[in-house]
Structure 1
Amino acid sequence: MISIKNLQKVFTSSSGSVQAVDDVSLDIEKGEIYGVIGYSGAGKSTFIRLLNRLEDPTSGEVIIDGQDIAKLRNGQLRKARQEIGMIYQHFNLLWSRTVKDNIAFPLEIAKVPKAEINKRVQELIDLVGLSGREDYFPSQLSGGQKQRVGIARALANNPKVLLCDEATSALDPETTDSILNLLTDINKQLGLTIILITHEMHVISKISNRVAVMEGGQVVEEGDVLEVFRHPKQKVTKRFVQQVMGDKEQDDALEAIVAEYESGTVLRLHFVGEKTNQAVISEVAKQYPVAVNILQGKITQTQKGAYGTLVVHLTGDDDDIQKAIQYISETSVEVEVNPNVE
Structure 2
Amino acid sequence: MISIKDLSKVFKTKDQDVRAVDKLNLSIDKGEIFGVIGYSGAGKSTFIRLLNRLEEPTSGNIQMNDQNLTGLSKNKLRIARQEIGMIFQHFNLLWSRTVFDNIAFPLEIAGIAKSKRVERVNELIELVGLSGRGNSYPSQLSGGQKQRVGIARALANNPKVLLCDEATSALDPETTDSILDLLVNINEKLGLTIVLITHEMHVIRKICHRVAVMESGRIVEAGDVLDVFLHPKEKVTKRFVDQVMGDPDREDSLHLINQNYKAGEVIQLHFVGENTNQALISELSREFTIDVNILHGKITQTQKGAYGTMLVQLVGDQDEVDRSIAYIKTTSVEVEVSPDV
Aligned-partner Cα distance in 2 for 1:255–1:313: 14
Query: Could you state the TM-score of these two structures normalised by the residue count of structure 2?
Result: 0.98
Cα offsets for 1:156-188 (capped at 9, x unmatched): 000000000000000000100110010001000
Corresponding residue SS for 1:248: coil
Opposite residue 79 of structure 2, the aligned amino acid is K
Query: Could you state the TM-score of these two structures normalised by the residue count of structure 1?
Result: 0.97
**Is residue 159 of structure 2 the alignment partner of residue 159 of structure 1?**
yes
Q: How far 1:251 moved relative to its partner?
A: 5.8
Aligned-partner Cα distance in 2 for 1:239–1:249: 11
Aligned-partner Cα distance in 1 for 2:205–2:5: 26
Cα offsets for 1:27-70 (capped at 9, x unmatched): 10000000001111110000000000101111111000210111
**Is residue 201 of structure 2 the alignment partner of residue 201 of structure 1?**
yes
Pairwise mapping of residues 1-342 of structure 1 onto structure 2 (< 5 A)? 1-249=1-249, 252-340=252-340, 342=341
Coordinate RMSD, CA, aligned: 1.1
Aligned-partner Cα distance in 2 for 1:300–1:184: 18
Relative to 1, partners in 2 of residues 1:250 and 1:228: Cα closer, same or farther, differing over 3 Å?
closer
**Runs of at least 5 residues in structure 2 that lack an aligned partner in the other structure:** none
Corresponding residue SS for 1:40: coil
Contact 1:254–1:295 under 8 Å retained in 2: no
Q: How far 1:3 moved relative to its partner?
A: 0.2
Q: How far 1:15 moved relative to its partner?
A: 2.6
Relative to 1, partners in 2 of residues 1:295 and 1:251: Cα closer, same or farther, differing over 3 Å?
farther
Q: How far 1:74 moved relative to its partner?
A: 2.0
Aligned-partner Cα distance in 1 for 2:77–2:224: 32
Cα offsets for 1:301-342 (capped at 9, x unmatched): 1111111100000011122212211222222000011111x4
Runs of 4+ off more than 4 Å: none
Aligned-partner Cα distance in 2 for 1:323–1:172: 48
Corresponding residue SS for 1:196: strand
What is the aligned length?
341
Identity between Structure 1 and Structure 2 (%): 69
Cα offsets for 1:94-139 (capped at 9, x unmatched): 0011111100000000000001000000110010000011111000
Opposite residue 267 of structure 1, the aligned amino acid is I
Aligned-partner Cα distance in 2 for 1:194–1:210: 11
Opposite residue 175 of structure 1, the aligned amino acid is T
Aligned-partner Cα distance in 1 for 2:324–2:12: 61
Aligned-partner Cα distance in 2 for 1:68–1:253: 51
Opposite residue 39 of structure 2, the aligned amino acid is Y
